């Protein structure tokens, strides 16, 4: 109890890991937001105290002392009424002015901001960097000390981007663009959350914002944009499980457990053997082989990525979006290779055991 009270009293002392009320502050706007928050908080403490103390005092002092007691209460007091009107008016005026300035600051990205296109989709975030032709999923790399503007839209339902440490938040709406901007002040990793309830796996719709030194940014993005292009087929599975599987993780497990979609564990064996039953009752085995729709089992996986509703696996609802236009041919090949080598990429519990470059994780 005493500890909690002490914590309450030191809320204004900003420490590196945040305060009792607020997470750590890591963007240029955070200081203003926190100031406003603390100001309103302290106004609340102040009025809470004087209201509760005078209420208790008056309850005792002016209580009804005998059953026959008749009171003549005051009818009005001009000085008191003016005070309790003018003081709060000034307070809300200050709060409005400071808040409005902060709001306008947050709405308008500075000229020359680095732009990232964000797409929300049940249940993952995709970040496209037009300047580098690179796309990241569930990860966003940005330079420190440079304003970044996120131009955002959704492919399905309402989502909302929230980066608590940067004090920014904005809805992501299908059929229109919204934006937010921030300038990170500290190198590090920060969590980005979806903060609009968007369905079953809303709570898993997370991403990490990597803030890196500005002089490393260019090289990092250039590498990200093209790393898979120079890879041999043998290197693709490790790339795919680290860079592309992020997009699948909320629905497809690696440990055999059933999610919104079938587990990836053993998927290649099931597909190769044609051992998949569709919701129409048809079996995949009848579509494999010479003179059939798919011919090679790889074609079925390819089509499942580009037109997932065409053949739904029995028992699943078909929540998967199309990846048409989002995956390059070599990335589709990388995913197929990932399925073939899943045993070498994960352990029994479904943990990923290789880094993007193929070295074992530690
Ligand atoms: Cu997307 Cu919640």
- The answer to whether the CB of 159 is under 6 A from ligand 1 is yes
Domain membership of residue 184 (yes or no) is yes
Average pLDDT, integer, range 273-279: 88
Total tally of structural domains belonging to the chain: 3
Structural domain containing residue 337: 233-345
Q: Is residue 252 part of a domain?
A: yes
**What share of the chain has pLDDT > 90, as a percent?**
41
Phi–psi pair at 82, nearest 5 degrees? -65, -40
Each residue's pLDDT tens digit, 217-232 = 999 998 888 888 888 8
At residue 96, the pLDDT reads 94
* Cα Dmax for the chain: 104
pLDDT attached to residue 8: 53
Query: Does residue 134 line the site of ligand 1, with CB under 6 A?
Result: no
55 and 122 inside one domain: no
Please report the atom of ligand 1 found closest to the CA of residue 120.
1
Beta-carbon count within 10 A of 307 CB: 13
Mean pLDDT within 203-222? 92
Question: How large is the average pLDDT for residues 52-63?
Answer: 93
Q: Provide the CATH number for the domain around residue 50.
A: 1.10.287
Whether 194 is in the pocket of ligand 1, judged by its Cβ within 6 Å, is yes
Measured in Å, residue 318 CA sits from the centre of ligand 1 at 18
pLDDT for res 330: 87
Say whether both 298 and 327 belong to one domain: yes
Would you give the DSSP letter of residue 242? Answer: I
Which helix or strand (DSSP H or E) is residue 180 part of?
Answer: strand 178-182
Residue of higher predicted confidence among 5 and 236: 236
Q: Are 27 and 168 in contact (CB under 8 A)?
A: yes
Joined tokens for residue 112 = 């020359």
Whether ligand 1 lies within 6 angstroms of the CB of 247 is answered as no
- The domain boundary, picked from 226, 260, 281, lies at 226
Based on the domain organization, do 188 and 250 belong to the same domain? no
CA distances from 19 to 225, 257, 271 (A): 38, 39, 52
Instruction: Report how far residue 355's alpha carbon sits from residue 101's, in angstroms, rounded to the nearest whole number.
Output: 45
Residues in Cβ contact with 76 at an 8 Å cutoff, skipping those fewer than 6 apart: none
Is the pLDDT reported for residue 69 higher than 90? Answer: no
Instruction: Report the separation in Å between the CA atom of 122 and the middle of ligand 1, taken as the mean of its atom positions.
Output: 7
Is 164 contained in some domain?
yes
Residue from 150, 152, 166 nearest 121 by CA: 152
Nearest to residue 318, comparing CAs of 310, 326, 327, 306?
310
Residue 176 pLDDT grade (very low, low, confident, very high; cuts 50, 70, 90): very high
Which atom of ligand 1 lies closest to the CA of 199? 2
Examine the fold and report which residue of 165, 192, 226 is the final residue of a domain before the chain moves on.
226
193 lines ligand 1 (CB under 6 A): no
CA of 170 to the centre of ligand 1 (A): 12
Which of 269, 252, 244, 238 lies closest to 340 in space, CA to CA? 269
For the stretch 135-174, pLDDT in tens is: 888 899 999 999 999 999 998 899 999 999 999 999 999 9
At residue 186, does pLDDT exceed 80?
yes
Please tell me the pTM assigned to this model: 0.70
CA 221 to ligand 1 center in whole angstroms: 27
Distance linking the first and last C-alpha atoms of the chain: 42
For 5-30, what is each residue's pLDDT tens digit?
555 555 544 446 778 888 989 999 88
Whole-number Å distance, alpha carbon 153 to ligand 1 midpoint, is 12
Residue 179's domain is classified under what CATH number?
2.60.40.420
Find tokens 């579509």 and name the residue: 287
* 82 and 169 both lie in a single domain: no
Q: Give the domain CATH number at 247.
A: 1.10.760.10
Check residue 203 and report its DSSP letter.
G
CA of 187 to the centre of ligand 1 (A): 26
pLDDT at residue number 13: 47
> In ligand 1, which atom is closest to the CA atom of 195?
2
Which is the closest atom of ligand 1 to the Cα of 205?
1
List the single range of 23-37, 62-76, 85-99 with lowest mean pLDDT. 62-76
Same domain, 173 and 118: yes
Distance from Cα 195 to the centre of ligand 1, integer Å: 6
pLDDT recorded at residue 15: 47
């Amino acid at each position: 109890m005493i500890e909690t009270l002490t914590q309450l009293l030191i809320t204004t002392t900003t420490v590196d890991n945040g305060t009792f009320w607020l997470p750590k502050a890591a963007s240029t706007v955070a200081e203003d937001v926190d100031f406003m928050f603390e100001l309103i908080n302290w106004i609340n403490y102040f009025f809470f105290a004087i209201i509760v103390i005078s209420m208790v005092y008056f309850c005792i002092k002016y209580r009804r002392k005998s059953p026959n007691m008749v009171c003549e209460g005051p009818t009005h007091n001009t000085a008191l009424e003016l005070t309790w009107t003018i003081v709060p008016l000034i307070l809300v005026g200050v709060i409005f002015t400071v808040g409005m300035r902060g709001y306008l600051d947050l709405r308008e990205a500075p000229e020359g901001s680095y732009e990232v296109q964000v797409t929300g989709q049940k249940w993952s975030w995709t970040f496209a960097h037009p300047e580098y032709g690179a796309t990241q999923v569930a990860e966003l790399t940005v330079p420190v000390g440079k304003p970044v503007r996120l131009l955002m839209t959704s492919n399905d339902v309402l989502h909302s981007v929230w980066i608590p440490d940067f004090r920014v938040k904005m809805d992501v709406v299908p059929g229109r663009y919204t934006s937010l901007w921030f300038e990170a002040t500290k190198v590090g990793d920060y969590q980005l959350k979806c903060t609009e309830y968007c369905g079953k796996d809303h709570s898993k719709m997370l991403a990490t914002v990597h803030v890196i030194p500005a002089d490393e940014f260019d090289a990092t993005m250039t590498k990200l944009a093209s790393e898979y292009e120079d890879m041999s087929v043998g290197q693709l599975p490790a790339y795919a499980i680290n860079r592309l599987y992020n997009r699948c993780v909320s629905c497809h497990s690696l440990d055999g457990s059933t999610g919104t979609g079938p587990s990836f564990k053993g998927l290649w064996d099931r597909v190769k053997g044609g051992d998949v039953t569709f919701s129409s009752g048809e079996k995949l085995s009848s579509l494999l082989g010479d003179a059939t729709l798919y011919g090679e089992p790889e074609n079925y996986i390819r089509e499942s990525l580009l037109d997932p509703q065409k053949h739904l696996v029995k028992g699943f609802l078909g929540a998967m979006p199309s990846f048409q236009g989002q995956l390059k041919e070599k990335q589709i090949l990388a995913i197929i290779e990932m399925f073939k080598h899943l045993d070498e990429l994960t352990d029994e519990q479904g943990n990923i055991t290789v880094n993007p470059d193929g070295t074992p994780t530690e």
